Amino acid sequence: MVLQSIPHSILMEILLNLDLESLCSVACVSKTLQSAAVEALPLLSTLHLPIAFSPDPRTVKSGVIGRCRGMGMRSLTVNCLRLDDSSLVGFLGPNLLELNLVCCSLLSYKFLAAVGQLCPNLRVLVLQFAAQDSPEVFNRNLAEMLTRCLFLDSISLKIRGAADIAANSFSAVEACLPKTTKTLKLKSLLHQDAICIMNKLRDSENSLITTYSKNLAPPPLSPGVMLQCLSLTLDVISDELVITIVDSLPFLVELHLEDMPNRELLVHRDLTNRGLHSLSTCRNLVSLSIIRSRQNHQVSFRKLNDMGMFLLSEGCKGLESVRLCGFSKVSDAGFASILHSCHKLQKFEVRNALHLSDLAFDGFDGIGCPITELRLLSCSLITCESVKQLACSTRLEVLDLCGCKSISDSCLDPISSLHHLSSLNLTATDITDYGLSILGQGSSPIARLSLRSCKRVTDEGIYRLFHGAGTVSKTLSALDLGQISGITDRAIRTIASIGVGITELCIRSCFHVTNSSVEALAMKKQVQGEGKLLRRLDLFNCIGLSSGACGSFRGSLFPGLQWLGIGHTRFSSVGDANFIEFCSKRPWLTLCLEGCEVGCHDGWQFHRS
């Protein structure tokens, strides 16, 4: 009766401020709200689906999501792992300002042209394509889109899965980049193509200045002047490329470069101190990322050392975010120069730094850096002494020590007292069950915890983690126990009965986990009552599971499951009737047989259609 007394206009205004998940939940309360929710669906201006949730064509066309298609749609975010062009065209329209489509394994390049034709007012575009055989088709459709979408503020185009990086080309960007673009992200392209794009932007700017030099009025802004954020994934990063970027983009605020070179490329070009020095003239630079990834073997910037870091830190004192990988010749002094010079530094990440040790963080407590995210990946010389220094930064929200093999229990006491810590990665460290008992008694509100490959962790440690009197047992939502031989059914039963907030669980390659664990997880809702539903479960390579585990996937069990990884298990290829029925009744469930990490964030481009 109370709901019926609320004016319809006010009720609709309230519902239109909810996201899709909340709207569907409200519809279950009463017939009045259900009717209002159905009316509100086509009027939603924003539809942002969780990235880990990949709907199928049936759900998009005729389900709840399909009802959201309306002329008022202004912002759309969808995981397109199982969707093709026909499933998405209906959402496009002149009112659409923001389009984020990720994991587009089935989307064709022709979809770009459709975006140009139907969304002329688009401001933000994010598209992740799987590589196809026709770069010419890609550029033709990209050119058509760019010439029609004249108000694009941010463009992110990623092509993943190409066997040869040379197959990708973004020549249309060079010729047709809208003058309004401030952010440009491209993956993957050739080093020489990137230089051509930058030169085009610089020539455009110089041409305008020359044309208007006789007039008192200033020239209109060129794409080079507008562009402030640049992210490129290439075959190789070189001095020539970095210097060209610096010369072409006078107001650069963010620069992210990543490469994966072979040895032959590095004979002729590479990044040295000279290229890093050129960045010191970018006085507006706030975020810098230079990543050299591995391709079958570890490579690094062999001609880049501490001197380059000194020059960079001296010129770019306003840096707030720094990510570095492949700086194997840089020592503690070089990394410390960044920490001591950049007083606004909030995010600091270093990977595979062979000479980074505790000395780089000596006296860190006196620097006063407002660091909130710290990631030290595979830095073998980092010990607990560094962590104790870093723990003085009470603002820490993210701490990633993945692969730091000297990290042990002694540093978990200061970590457990960080009152803002929400994400902790201890993958392949030397912590034990005793360390987990310390975490379990601490006050850190950790939501995401990775213990993957921690060889000395056992069931007892998981028990202590969840039965401690601390905060973590209540705040933990994502837990990674992958590749730990000491994890058995006992640990999983503990999680199922005590882990009230767990929505994401990875137990891949836990060989001693059996069907009993799956049964316990299937009953998680009933055991916990008001506990959160399990959304994502990774069972990849759990060879202890038998085909009988299929019986746990039936009826109303696992009611909230959105992603399930079952590759390399005995029941992944079994045509069990219960399992088939379970999947058929859940069109929103993504079943991964490819061994992707949870959510298929990486590797989706290799999925079999």
Query: From CA 189, how far away is CA 360, in angstroms rounded?
Result: 35
pLDDT band at 164 (very low <50, low <70, confident <90, very high): very low
Burial (Cβ within 10 Å: 0-12, 13-18, ≥19) of residue 90: middle
pLDDT tens digits, one per residue of 112-154 = 999 999 999 999 999 999 988 788 899 999 999 999 999 999 9
Query: From CA 46, how far away is CA 77, in angstroms rounded?
Result: 9
Question: What is the arithmetic mean of pLDDT over 41-62?
Answer: 80
pLDDT tens digits, one per residue of 549-586 = 888 888 888 988 989 999 999 877 767 777 888 888 88
pLDDT tens digits, one per residue of 372-404 = 999 999 999 999 999 988 887 778 999 999 999
Query: From CA 81, how far away is CA 104, in angstroms rounded?
Result: 5
The pLDDT, as a whole number, for residue 457 is: 98
- Pairing relationship of beta strands 254-259 and 287-292 according to DSSP bridges: parallel
pLDDT tens digits, one per residue of 309-359 = 999 999 999 999 999 999 999 999 999 999 999 999 999 999 999 999 999
- Which of 270 and 294 is assigned the larger pLDDT? 270
The pLDDT, as a whole number, for residue 436 is: 98
Count the Cβ atoms, other than its own, within 10 Å of residue 20.
Answer: 18
Question: What is the arithmetic mean of pLDDT over 31-48?
Answer: 73
- Which of 530 and 136 is assigned the larger pLDDT? 136
SS3 of 254, please? strand
Residues in a beta bridge with 323: 289, 349
Query: From CA 401, how far away is CA 378, in angstroms rounded?
Result: 8
The pLDDT, as a whole number, for residue 512 is: 96
The pLDDT, as a whole number, for residue 41 is: 67
**Among the CATH numbers 3.30.300.210, 1.10.579.10, 3.80.10.10, 1.10.3720.10, which is that of 477-608?**
3.80.10.10
Question: In this model, does residue 422 exceed pLDDT 70?
Answer: yes
Residue 204, token pair as written in the block: 């455009």
39: left (phi over 0), alpha (psi -120 to 50) or beta: alpha
Phi, psi of 127, deg, nearest 5: -135, 130
Long-range contacts of 263-269 (CB under 8 A, 24+ apart): 263/299, 265/191, 265/235, 265/236, 266/236, 266/299, 266/302, 269/191, 269/236, 269/238, 269/239, 269/240
Question: In this model, does residue 296 exceed pLDDT 80?
Answer: no
User: Position of tokens 């992200």?
Assistant: 185
Every domain of the chain and the residues it spans: 8-43, 477-608
| Angle formed by the axes of helices 306-315 and 332-341, nearest 10° | 0
Q: Which of 486, 445, 430 is nearest to 463 (CA)?
A: 486
pLDDT tens digits, one per residue of 207-257 = 555 555 555 555 556 666 689 999 999 989 999 999 999 999 999 999 999
How many residues are listed for the chain in this entry? Answer: 609
Q: Are 406 and 381 in contact (CB under 8 A)?
A: yes
Q: Which of 605, 474, 501, 503 is nearest to 563 (CA)?
A: 503
Residue 67, token pair as written in the block: 């009802």
pLDDT tens digits, one per residue of 465-475 = 999 989 999 99
Q: Which of 169, 221, 224 is nearest to 194 (CA)?
A: 169
- Which of 609 and 606 is assigned the larger pLDDT? 606
Question: In this model, does residue 514 exceed pLDDT 60?
Answer: yes
The pLDDT, as a whole number, for residue 577 is: 76
Q: Are 259 and 236 in contact (CB under 8 A)?
A: yes
The pLDDT, as a whole number, for residue 174 is: 86
Tell me what the pLDDT averaged over the chain comes to: 87
DSSP secondary structure string for all residues of 172-207? HHHHH--TT--EEEEEEE-HHHHHHHHHHHHHHHHH
DSSP 364: G
Q: Are 326 and 347 in contact (CB under 8 A)?
A: no
Q: How many alpha carbons fall within 13 Å on the CB side of residue 230?
A: 28
Query: From CA 561, how far away is CA 557, in angstroms rounded?
Result: 9
Q: Which of 414, 420, 382, 388 is nearest to 401 (CA)?
A: 382
Question: In this model, does residue 477 exceed pLDDT 50?
Answer: yes
The pLDDT, as a whole number, for residue 197 is: 92
Question: What is the arithmetic mean of pLDDT over 286-309?
Answer: 87
Residues 6+ apart with CB under 8 A from 379: 350, 351, 352, 353, 356, 403, 404
Sign of the alpha-carbon torsion through 104, 110, 111, 113: positive
The pLDDT, as a whole number, for residue 223 is: 63
User: Position of tokens 């890609």?
Assistant: 138
Residues in a beta bridge with 160: 130
